[in-house]
Amino acid sequence: MPKIEVSREDLFRMAGMDDPGDDELAAMLSLVKGEVDSSGGDRLKLELNDTNRPDLWCVEGVARALRCYSSGPEEHLARLPQPAAEMIVDGALEQVRPFVAAFTACGWAPDRSGLEALIDVQEKLAASFGRNRTTAGAGFYRLDEIEFPVRYRAAEPDVSFVPLGEDKEMTLSEILGETETGRTYAHILEGAEYYPVLQDARGAVLSFPPILNSQTTGRVRPGDSRLFCEVTGTDWETVQLTATILACNLEDRGSSIAPLRVVYPDGHSGETGGCPVIFADSMETTLGRIRSVLGTDLSASRVVEALRAMDYASVRVEGTTVLGVLPPYRRDGIHQVDMIEDIAISLGLGSFQPLLPESFTRGRSAPVEELADSVRLLMVGAGFEEVLRPVLTSMEKVLDMTGTPEPPVAISNPMTREYGVVRNSLLPGLLEVESASAHASYPHRTFESGEVLTAAGDGSCATEVMIACLVCGNDADFGDVHSVLGHLCRSRDIELSLTPVEDPRFVPGRAAAVMLDGCVSGTVGEVHPAVLEAWGIARPASAFELRLDCLKG
């Protein structure tokens, strides 16, 4: 979930309201699916739960939602002038970082905290929405130092300029290898033949996107009221929506936005046109569908009013059809249910009276769970303590320490080796209990019933529910667990027989395949001293493990 940190004063000034205090704010944030994460002094940390609404991951977006909810929808990026400047795209970037969007914003002169807020949005959008600057990354510049047209061109790795925060000229490869930011994001351009740079008409390098801006043009200072903004990336929609959101934010701050014309060469997948793009996604539903989803009859006027409070660009009802157009900073309406949810949020969930379904249904336990219940009770009756162990374990515990005949299925991206495989047997878990419990009074009679993952020869895996038990103490022997098997089988009316097997986990001659009603169902034996030694267990032990469903009888 995206988290942002904002200034309270800034938030409420932009929202056009007095600070209502934390409780009231928490209630208001349900409008943006947000929560107060922490608050102290002027700083407010918010968590925004909607991963499809990047427009809300900034103080401007949250303030806009609160403002429109109380005073109605606003016009965004309306009546933009014709593009006066151009951005020319180099076709060679098609394989590297094909898309770019840009505009200028003049009027608002950010102070220090305003500038911080601006950089926060830029970073947050690039990190979360732009997938760590891959699909989109943005930059701001001092407009007056730039001569148009700006070129977005493919450069050789030895092109050099003075990057932000450095005092000397560096080549593009040096920037990737030697600056901290360069190393962090170098993977985005890995394997590229050319690197993207933005250069103005005089050839001055503005930046090396998405890595670093230039020290001269790419350093915006408090008081700079004339800005140039660009977004580059690998995904057209992410690039455009990022630019549109930034433009709406700057407009809300008081800047006038002027679009740029981005010119792509023939045959490029980008389409020549003006930026920022004014998205106007149309949504359509019916009063009937609204009723069936929300369970409440809503009049046309209430629906219109509710959607206007959510800043819809336009809403109208024709007959029973409801037509809404999303504001330009939103592209998350992909089905009519999305618009219907906006109506519910606008009206407040508290305005819907809860109901219980009236139809009759039968409650039933899953057969395997019912069987597990009865076997677990038999084990408890036989004096066994139930344990519960993690499903993920290590290759070492399963193979090296226990000697399980079949290898477990491994995780290809384990967090740690300790949890690098999926258990295929419950016995290592029970042995681990023994090795951790030498100080607990004896005898130890433990069992677990639980899921394991077994792999068939063809690589397909299946979840199986197993039951295993282990007896450990000074005089524990084969007879201890054999008698428990007998107890389970008598209780379940199953015929038990044993077939001797060789199994490295058990003492030779004291290990057997367990046959239940004639089917191989598991293994029983006295634990081999080598296994006990590997686990650091100082007393003899015996154990069995069965497939639970074989005890169905």
Partner 1 sequence: MTDERDLHPLEKALLAHLEVNGRSTDRRMIEESGLPDEGSYRRAVEWLLSRGLVRELAREERELLQLGPLGLSNLEAGMTPEMAMMRHLSSGPSTLQEIQEDDTFDRGRWGSAFGALTRSGTVSREGDSIRLTADPSHSVFQDIWETVYVPLSEKGSIDMSDLSGDVEELVRERSPRRGRGRAEFVIVSVADRTIEITGEGLDALSRARSTVTIGAITPSILADGSWRDAKFRRYSLDIPPSQIHTGRLHPYRQFLDTVRKRFIALGFSEMRGSIAENEFWNNDALFMPQFHPARDIHDVYYLEAGAGVPPPNEALQARVAAAHRDGSGTGGRGWGYDFSRSRSLQAIMRSQGTALSARTLASDPDVPGKYFGIARCFRYDQVDSTHLPDFFQVEGIVLGEDINLRHLMGLLALFAEEIAGAEDYKFLPGYFPFTEPSVEMHILHPALGWVEGGGAGLFRPEVCLPLGVEVPVIAWGLGLDRMAMLAMGLDDIRDLVTPDLARLRSIRVRPDSLLTGKGE
Could you say which residues in the range 160-219 bind partner 1, by CB under 8 A? none
| Residue 382 binds partner 1 (CB under 8 A) | yes
The answer to the question of residue 287 lying near partner 1 (CB under 8 A) is no
82 or 441: whose CB is closer to partner 1?
A: 441
- Is residue 37 a contact point for partner 1 (CB under 8 A)? no
If binding is defined by CB under 8 A, does position 380 make contact with partner 1? yes
Footprint of partner 1 on 267-286 (CB under 8 A): none
Q: Verify binding: residue 233, partner 1, rule CB under 8 A.
A: no
Peptide bond preceding 210 in cis form (omega within 30 of 0): yes
Should residue 392 be labelled a site residue for partner 1 when binding is judged by CB under 8 A?
yes
**Site for partner 1 contains 399 (CB under 8 A):** no
Q: Which is nearer to partner 1, 29 or 205 (CB)?
A: 29
| Choice from 386, 400, 406, 533 touching partner 1 (CB under 8 A) | 386
Contacts of 218 (CB under 8 A, 6+ apart): 139, 140, 141, 164, 206, 207, 212
Angstrom distance (rounded) from CA 403 to CA 431? 12
Q: Toward partner 1, which CB reaches closer, 271 or 388? A: 388
Nearer to partner 1 by C-beta: 17 or 127? 127
C-alpha distances in angstroms, 367 versus 98, 374, 466, 468, 543?
A: 56, 11, 14, 19, 26
Check residue 391 for interaction with partner 1 (CB under 8 A): yes
Rounded CA-CA distance 528/534 in Å is 10
Q: Which of 260, 250, 166, 246 is nearest to 213 (CA)?
A: 166
Identify the residue among 3, 8, 13, 33 touching partner 1 (CB under 8 A): 33
Query: Given the complex with partner 1, which of 7 and 449 has the nearer CB atom?
Result: 449
Q: Which of 414, 501, 504, 539 binds partner 1 (CB under 8 A)?
A: 414
Out of 78, 280, 436, 520, the residue judged to bind partner 1 by CB under 8 A: 436
Are 208 and 172 in contact, with CB atoms under 8 Å apart? yes
Segment interacting with partner 1 (CB under 8 A) among 108-116, 118-126, 271-279, 384-392: 384-392
Q: Rounded CA gap, 318 and 207, in Å? A: 50
- Least distance from partner 1 to the Cβ atom of residue 525, Å: 22
- Pick from 190, 202, 462, 493 the residue near partner 1 by CB under 8 A: 462
- What is the three-state SS of 47-81? EECCCCCHHHCCHHHHHHHHHHHHHCCCCCCCCCC
Q: Which is nearer to partner 1, 42 or 373 (CB)?
A: 373
Pattern of binders to partner 1 over 339-378, x per CB under 8 A? -xx--xx---xx-xxxxxx-xxxxxxxx-xx---x--x--
Instruction: Decide: 185 and 232 in contact? Cβ < 8 Å.
Output: no
Residues of this chain, 46-65, that bind partner 1 according to CB under 8 A: 49-52
**Strands 496-500, 506-516: pairing kind:** antiparallel
By CB under 8 A, the count of residues binding partner 1 is: 88
The single residue among 82, 459, 493, 502 that binds partner 1, judged by CB under 8 A, is 459
Stretch of residues binding partner 1 (CB under 8 A), selected from 62-70, 158-166, 257-265, 288-296? 288-296
Q: Is 519 helix (H, G, I), strand (E, B) or coil?
A: strand
Neighbours of 126 (CB within 10 A): 24
Does 236 interact with partner 1 (rule: CB under 8 A)?
no
422 scored as a contact of partner 1 (CB under 8 A): yes
Does 486 contact partner 1 by CB under 8 A? no
Least distance (Å) between residue 386 CB and partner 1:
4
Residue selected from 181, 435, 473, 498 as contacting partner 1 according to rule CB under 8 A? 435
Within residues 520-539, the interface with partner 1 by CB under 8 A covers none
Using CA atoms, how far apart are residues 41 and 528, in angstroms rounded to an integer?
A: 65
Alpha-carbon gap, residue 43 to 56, rounded angstroms: 17
Q: Are strands 170-171 and 160-161 parallel, antiparallel or unpaired?
A: antiparallel
The Cα–Cα gap between 75 and 58 comes to 19
User: Is residue 460 within the footprint of partner 1 (CB under 8 A)?
Assistant: yes
Which residue, 41 or 363, is less far from partner 1 as judged by CB?
363
Question: Does 297 contact partner 1 by CB under 8 A?
Answer: no
> In this complex, which beta carbon is closest to partner 1, that of residue 88 or of residue 313?
313
C-alpha gyration radius of the chain: 33
One symbol per residue from 120 to 139: x for binding partner 1 (CB under 8 A), - otherwise; what is it? --------x-----------
Residue 363's alpha-carbon distances to 60, 356, 360, 366, in angstroms, are 50, 16, 10, 10
**457 binds partner 1 per the rule CB under 8 A:** no
Q: Cis omega (within 30 of 0) on the bond before 276?
A: yes
Nearer to partner 1, 26 or 162 (CB): 26
Estimate to the nearest angstrom the gap between the alpha carbon of 491 and the chain centroid.
Answer: 49
Using an 8 Å Cβ cutoff, are 279 and 241 in contact? yes
Query: What is the residue type of 74?
Result: E
Closest distance between partner 1 and the C-beta of residue 281, in Å?
9
Interface with partner 1, residue 334, by CB under 8 A: yes
User: Does 41 participate in binding partner 1 (rule CB under 8 A)?
Assistant: no
CB-wise, 410 or 520, nearer to partner 1?
410
**Is the bond into 110 cis (omega within 30 degrees of 0)?**
no
Query: What DSSP line would sit under 113-178, residue for residue?
Result: HHHHHHHHHHHHIIIIITTTTTS-EEEEEEGGG--SSEEEEEE-TT-EE-BTT-SS-EEHHHHHHH
C-beta closer to partner 1: residue 143 or 452: 452
For partner 1, the closer of residues 41 and 457 by Cβ is 457
The C-alpha angle 116, 121, 124, rounded to 5 degrees, equals: 120
Beta carbon nearer to partner 1, 378 or 511? 378
